[in-house]
Amino acid sequence: MDGVESLSSTAAVGDPDGMQRLWVPHRMVYVADDHQPDRSDCPFCAAPAKSDEDALIVARGAHAYVLLNLFPYNNGHMLVCPYRHVAGYDEATPEEAAEIAELTQRAMRVARRVMGCHGFNIGMNQGAIAGAGVAAHLHQHIVPRWASDANFFPIIAKTKAMPQLLGEVRELLATAWADPPDAGASR
């Protein structure tokens, strides 16, 4: 049955169907296959060659590193990326996957300690079809959350209120990362 057949006999084109929709055509640049970077122009391949301050890198490991998202959903939004240019989590080596997990845990502890966040959204969008902005290079999102961080601004005003500049957040997190190990940390 197609959409037309499922409408009641009294429904007309343009009548509400009970589904709420948020139209975001500007997001197409993140999911279109022809906009995916290769190794030569991948921002996650280029970042480690820059200074930590210029690349917004918080910490470096042997197989992966942590940096701030240039377009954060929330203050302190970090990404954990392997140095190697791979697209899928299932393509990561056991060493890369283990370090991504360790860096994610450490990032959570550091953010909780210095930013006082109440929770996190953590995840990977695998492939352009899943919404990955840079589908060609594996990266895990760590988004700090606070009880009152959601409001009407992003939807109504197309504005996200960010209380700190990226450079300030990077410095705060990087300094805390270098402090003595956190409670419960294994490193």
Give the structural domain span for 27.
Answer: 22-177
User: What six digits make up the tokens of 176?
Assistant: 């805390």
Identify the CATH number of the domain in which residue 46 sits. Answer: 3.30.428.10
Q: For the segment 47-98, what is each residue's pLDDT rounded down to a tens digit?
A: 999 999 999 999 999 999 999 998 888 899 999 999 999 999 999 999 999 9
Q: Looking at the domain assignment, is residue 26 inside a domain?
A: yes
Strand-pair partners of 65? 60, 81
pLDDT band at 165 (very low <50, low <70, confident <90, very high): confident
User: What six digits make up the tokens of 111?
Assistant: 């953010």
pLDDT band at 162 (very low <50, low <70, confident <90, very high): confident
Q: For the segment 135-144, what is each residue's pLDDT rounded down to a tens digit?
A: 899 999 999 9
pLDDT value for 187: 43
Whether residue 5 has pLDDT greater than 50: no
Whether residue 3 has pLDDT greater than 50: no
pLDDT value for 40: 73
Question: What 3-state DSSP class applies to 80?
Answer: strand
Q: In terms of pTM, does the model score above 0.85?
A: no
Q: Looking at the domain assignment, is residue 13 inside a domain?
A: no
Across all residues in the chain, what is the average pLDDT? 82
Q: Looking at the domain assignment, is residue 54 inside a domain?
A: yes
Q: Looking at the domain assignment, is residue 17 inside a domain?
A: no
Q: Looking at the domain assignment, is residue 28 inside a domain?
A: yes
Work out how many domains the chain is built from and give that number: 1
User: What six digits make up the tokens of 12?
Assistant: 């007309």
pLDDT value for 186: 47
CB atoms under 10 Å from CB of 33, counted, come to 10
Distances (CA, A) of 57 to 34, 60, 76, 146: 27, 7, 12, 23
pLDDT band at 11 (very low <50, low <70, confident <90, very high): low
Catalytic residues: 139
pLDDT value for 163: 74
Q: Looking at the domain assignment, is residue 169 inside a domain?
A: yes
Q: For the segment 125-137, what is each residue's pLDDT rounded down to a tens digit?
A: 998 888 888 889 9
